[in-house]
Each structure stands twice: as structure tokens, then as C-alpha cells.
Structure 1
Amino acid sequence: SEKLMEHIKCGVIGKRSLFEKDGVLKCPKCGVPVTLGSDLRVIGALYECLDCKSNFDSPREFFYCRDCELSFTITDAKFEEVYSFRINREVMDKVREIFTEPFIKQALEEAGFEVEAPGYIIGASGLTLSFNLVARRNGELVVLDLLRSQPAVDVESVIFSYGKIIDARPSKAVMIAVPRFTDRARSFVETHSIIGLEGEGPAEIIDRLRKIMV
């Protein structure tokens, strides 16, 4: 398509290409330079057929269905409202939790553990301790906490979970950071005999967990 222009002063009408020569707008009739908006105005659009080169101002639009191979115009089409949803960033952590924990539970069960989610243990102090998951297998006790924070899980969150681990005295303690630990948090985990895993989603976390819990 090409814009259809009118020189306001002399009234000549033509395609923009008729007015534009070497990057300068000039009237093809009177030869004077023109400026779009003051001397020259757009009055429509002109379309050209690539086959027969015919010009027309209003093309007919056709739509094609790839399923039933039906061609139809806009007037024949049936319109339906299609809804889309966007998850609020504020609840994204909760969504990740909903989708992550069941997969972790399944991976532990496939490794032969009996799993509670959430899980509760009476600690040495006599207090009831809560973990995201508690897994048992042949006398082995594993506690797992899922920690989330943006952009990274800090050392304070790790220390709070570690306080429960000391009281619970499990065979293994696992902390999963979504998406990752800060450097200080990672250093604390590595120096306190805690299994630390990091990842954005279930796939990468569970793959590492399976290798540990064989």
C-alpha cells in the first residue's frame, strides 16, 4: 500500500512516490517544494495488485482456517471472547511452592522414603518442629526446608532453619533455596553439614535431590 496525498494549494492528488524525488517532497504539477501537514495532506491509501498492477483503495480481506480449509471474510466470522490470565508477581513464590513440593515428595517416595508434607517432629527440647517435608526410611530421618527469597535466600533464613535442625537431630538435613543462596548463606550451609540445593524450579532441584537420596 502507498499513501494518497493532496497538494492543498493546486489540488493535485497522487501517490506519495509522485511527490517525493531524491528525498525531497515536490508537487508533480507545479513543481514547488511542499511540506507534509501544511502544504501536503494524506487523504487515504492506495493499494496495488502484485499480479495485474490494478489500483484500489479498499482491499477485501479474507481469512483462512487451516483446520477445515474454509475461506471467509470478516463479516462471516464469528467472534468469541478469549480470556488470558497473568499471575501476580506477589503470589509467584506461592505458585512455585504449590508446584515444587509435590514433585519433591514424589522423588523421595520413589527413593523408598515415607514422606510427610508438611512434617512435624518432637525435638530434643520437647518442642514440636515443623519442616516442609519429613522423610523416613529404614531408621533414617531426613528433614527438608524449602526457602524462598528474591533475589536470593539470606543467611538469616538459613540460621532460623538450622536452629530447628539442631533440635530435631536428623540423619540428613536438606535446605533448598529458590532461586539461590547468597554467598554468606551458601558458606554457612556448606560448613554446617547441611545439604544445600539451589534452583528456579522443580526439574533442576529434583534431579540433584535424586542423586543425593539414593
Structure 2
Amino acid sequence: MRNNIRVFDEDRLEARRLTLRLVGLSGVIILIVSIIVSGIFYITARGLAWAPGDMGFIYSSVLTIGFIISIGTGLFGAIRESEEFLILAGTACIVLAVLNKVFTNILYSWSYMEIVFLLAGAIMIMDRFHVRRVKIARKLKEEMAVAPMQKPGGPVGIEGIRVGRGRIFDFREGTPLEVRGTPEPADTWRMKLYHDKDAREIVRRFLSSDLKYIEPEIKTSTKPSYPELADIEKTTTRDLQSILDELAETGVLVGELYEKLITCPRCHQSSKVFLRSKCSKCDSRKVRKNRLVEHTECGAIYKEDEYYGTEGSKCPKCGKTFQHETELEPIGVTYECEACGNVFNDPKQAYYCRNCAYEFQFENCELEDLYSYTLNEKIKPEALEKISVLSVADALEGLGYKTSVPGVLSGRSGVGHEFTLTYSRGERRFAVDLVTSEGPEVNLRMILPSYAKFIDVGAERCLLIAVPRLADQARDYLEANKIPYIEGENPTDVSLKTRHYLESAT
């Protein structure tokens, strides 16, 4: 039902867009028709004469060029949904109509011509209001597309639209047509995930340790798990697989197919699904597999275990003993039913789920994709910055401070400055700016914007955090101006050093 409503809204928005194009184009069409009719009347009555020296000819030519420009501007505004061009085209049309009324010329002198021009101009100007309404409606649709993840009651706010274990709502299918193919929804979801405690901890481990990838561990007694994240799985109130899916869906992690698991179509579990080989005649599961081997010297073919008896290793046919297995050559496999004695080459196969006691064929099974994950190198700088900031905020809150990410602090000039985060205890508020570099060092130029804010706010109330480290020139500059700073390679390092700095300062 909800999907139907969404489709209906999209259809209505598309219909409105089509309507506004028709409204805008109608003004242009009226203008085109009136000019063509005027030209036909003029040529029929007087003929076509080229008289560039005649003032009436010049005046008519100027009006005609003006109307043509107005037509082109109106067409562009209607098709591209531009308010500015529609206003410009309509205003130009009205001005030309007034000029035509004041200085009547032969070409555009037939009855009610000015009224027609005024009507065309008014329609184009009115259409700009229609354009504005559609743009507002589209903006609201975009906001509604990401609103579910911003609602309170959950760390990410998208659990309510989950469609099954290991699968999350696909934002590309849940956003309006105008939003699809753009990065905004994924970026917005990613920012929300950085604020989720468990998701943030997973990303932090990639950034702060030698963890390069996480692989699932498959056991028959339980569902697949990730040993590297075992402690998170024990403490989280959410499904760990769902968190990994969300991180991969938003581009933080890159998932690579690790294995495909056969899942029971009845209980949807894979941990206790087993392959059964059965007799092709009586359907019994008591099937024994026999390897057939050939004695290369005499050509005898027997089951492998028939060559090995109480008297040692010898051929049942020629009676010759052999010292090396190289004298036996494997030639195939047969199956024997212990229930009915049937010998056959291709056993019947089926899958059996011991969780719900259900047998099924392969064509009826469900396939579950199991992934290993690595950190997406393309968003590593973004993740390093966001996770570092939030790790600092966690450390500050652990010391009893209230934090705001980002935060605003007013300086001596009265201007409010935005910082990476602000923290407070009682009436006093402090500011932190975090500066990261994709290169090996944070240089002087990169810290100057923060320095300017620190000077206005007061250096004693500020702290600069540089990731991964400061260049010598930048470090000397901060020390000369007595601005406190911290350097850290990763979120864990930054968090620990920030905590130590604050503990030693109090």
C-alpha cells in the first residue's frame, strides 16, 4: 500500500511538471501565432518590401526581433523550469506590447493585438509560480526520502524498514525519481551510521589497528559469525549482519562474496542443512560409496577395499602382491545401496534441514550470500575525520563534559564561530578543531583558519587536533602563539591523547 502511495505521488508530481510546461508553452505559442498572423495580414495587404531606410520598417523589425528573443527565452524557461527566464520572457513581451500601443506600426496594428501580447506575457509570468510550487514539492519529497533515518528511537533510524535478516531497505528504490542516481541519500545515511556506536566501532577497528578485512566463520551449530567482531556481537542490541549490510550499502565497507550458503526454504536457516545421497531405486539413505581401481598388470577391476585383505595387498584375480599403490589405477566410482543391494552410478540427491525436519530439492532452496568486508579506501579520509571527531566526543563525555558536534562559540568580536566540536562543564565552554590531511602531515596553511577563530575566542579555551601529525612549521607556529594541540595517527590515538590532555589540565 505504501509503495502504491509513493508511486501515486511521483505520478502526480510528474503530471504537475508536464502541466507547467504546457502552461509556459501556451504563452509562447500564443505569441508565435500572433506574430505569424500579423505577418500574413501585412504581406497580403501590402506585399513584402525591403525598405531599411523607412522608420516604420526599422520599428517593425526591432519589435519582431524583440518578440523572437522573448519566444526563445520563454521556451527555455518552460522546458528547463527556470523562474528567471519565464519572468524575463513575460516582462519583455508586456513591454513590447506597450511600445506597440504607444507607437502603433503597420505590421502589428490589427485589432486587439496588444491584448494578445499582454495575455502571452502574463501567462509566462504566471507560470513561474507554478514552477516554484513544483520545486518546493520536489524538495519536500527529497526530505521525506531521508526522513525515516532521522526519526528518534534508534541509533540510525532505518530498522523500521528492514525486509529481512541481512537485507536493508534499498534507498535507491525508496527515493523519488528526481533523487535517484545522486549521492545525497547515501552520504546522509553514512553520516548517520558514523553516529551509531556499533557501526562506528567497526570502522574504528579498520582505522586504528592492523585489521584489513573481516571474514565470516561458518559453523553447523550456529549461524555464520565474524570472529573479529565477536565482542561487538555480544553487546549490541542490533543484528551485527544488519550493521555490516548498512555500512556496505552506504559505501563505508566493500563487501566481497565469500560463500553462497544453501538455506532451508521453510525456516530460512542455513546452519543445519545437509546434503543427502539416496538410492535411485528404493530411496534409502544407506548408500555406500565404492571406488573402482584397476590392477595395471593384469587389467582386473575391483572395488578398492577388495585389494586389501588379511593376507596383505594382492590382486584378487592374478594373486600377485604389490608393494606400491602406483600399480593400482583409479577408474571410477559406484554406489551401492545397503538396503536393497542396488548398484548405481548416480545417486539421488536432496537437502535436509535438521532445524525444522524438512527435505527439499536444490531448485527449491534459498541461496544466502555471505560476504567478507574491507574498508572502502575512497572514503577512508572521510571516515578517519568523522570517527576521530566522535571518538573525541566520547572521551569528553566520559569525563563528564557535554559535547556538541559541530559546535558554535562566540568570540570577543561577537561573531559566532563554528568548530568541529564544543564541550562544556558548567558555564564554561571550550572549542576543538580537528584538521586532517590525506598526506603525511598537516601544514601551516591548513591550520590558519582554525588559528583565526582561536585568536577571537581565546586560545586558553581552544584545542587543535591534527591527524596524522603536524608539519614542523605548523607545530612551531602553534607553540609560538601558545595554542594547545594534539597529534594522533588514528581515532583511538586521538581519543586517548585528548583524554590524557584534559585529565592533566584539570
1:80, distance to aligned residue in structure 2 (A): 5.6
CA distance in 2 between counterparts of 1:205 and 1:88 reads 21
Q: Is the 8 A contact 1:145 1:174 kept in 2?
A: yes
Q: Which residue of 1 aligns with 2:410?
A: 122
Q: Which residue of 2 aligns with 1:45?
A: none
Structure in which a larger fraction of residues adopt helix: 2
Letter in 1 for 2:490: G
Q: Which residue of 2 aligns with 1:150?
A: 438
- Secondary structure of the 1:171 match is helix
Q: Which residue of 2 aligns with 1:100?
A: 388
Letter in 2 for 1:52: E
Tell me whether 1:174 sits opposite 2:447 in the alignment: no
- Alignment deviations for residues 85-133 of structure 1 (CA, whole Å, 9 cap, x no partner): 5544342111112322222111112222121110001222222200011
Greater RCO, 1 or 2 (C-alpha within 8 Å, sep 6+):
1
CA distance in 2 between counterparts of 1:55 and 1:81 reads 40
CA distance in 1 between counterparts of 2:454 and 2:394 reads 22
Tell me whether 1:165 sits opposite 2:454 in the alignment: yes
Letter in 1 for 2:325: C
Letter in 2 for 1:134: T
CA distance in 1 between counterparts of 2:474 and 2:325 reads 72
Letter in 2 for 1:190: E
- TM, length-normalised to structure 2: 0.27
- Secondary structure of the 2:493 match is helix
Find 1:113's aligned residue among 391, 401, 415.
Answer: 401
Can you give the 5+ residue segments of structure 1 that lack an aligned partner in the other structure?
A: 1-50, 59-77
Q: Which residue of 2 aligns with 1:202?
A: 491
Q: Which residue of 2 aligns with 1:18?
A: none
Structure 1: 4+ residue segments shifted above 6 A:
none
Q: Which residue of 2 aligns with 1:40?
A: none
Q: Is the 8 A contact 2:462 2:483 kept in 1?
A: yes
- Alignment deviations for residues 52-92 of structure 1 (CA, whole Å, 9 cap, x no partner): 3456699xxxxxxxxxxxxxxxxxxx976444555443421
Kindly report which structure 2 residues correspond to 1:131-146, keeping only aligned pairs within 5 A, or say none.
131-146=419-434
Kindly report which structure 2 residues correspond to 1:1-150, keeping only aligned pairs within 5 A, or say none.
52-53=325-326, 54=328, 81-84=369-372, 86-150=374-438
- Secondary structure of the 1:213 match is helix
Q: Is the 8 A contact 1:143 1:170 kept in 2?
A: no
1:198, distance to aligned residue in structure 2 (A): 1.4
Q: Is the 8 A contact 2:459 2:482 kept in 1?
A: no
Q: Which residue of 2 aligns with 1:70?
A: none
CA distance in 1 between counterparts of 2:329 and 2:457 reads 83
Q: Percent identity?
A: 28
- Secondary structure of the 1:134 match is strand
Q: 1:57 to 1:162 in 2, by over 3 A?
A: farther
Letter in 2 for 1:91: I
Letter in 1 for 2:472: D
CA distance in 2 between counterparts of 1:125 and 1:57 reads 92
- Secondary structure of the 1:197 match is strand
CA distance in 2 between counterparts of 1:57 and 1:83 reads 38
- TM, length-normalised to structure 1: 0.59
Q: Which residue of 2 aligns with 1:13?
A: none
Can you give the 5+ residue segments of structure 2 that lack an aligned partner in the other structure?
A: 1-323, 333-365
CA distance in 1 between counterparts of 2:329 and 2:389 reads 64
CA distance in 2 between counterparts of 1:119 and 1:184 reads 28
The alignment of Structure 1 onto Structure 2 pairs a total of residues equal to 148
Q: Is the 8 A contact 1:158 1:189 kept in 2?
A: no
Q: Is the 8 A contact 2:460 2:483 kept in 1?
A: no
Cα root mean square deviation, aligned: 2.9
- Structure with max Cα Rg: 2
Letter in 1 for 2:465: I
Q: Is the 8 A contact 2:381 2:438 kept in 1?
A: no
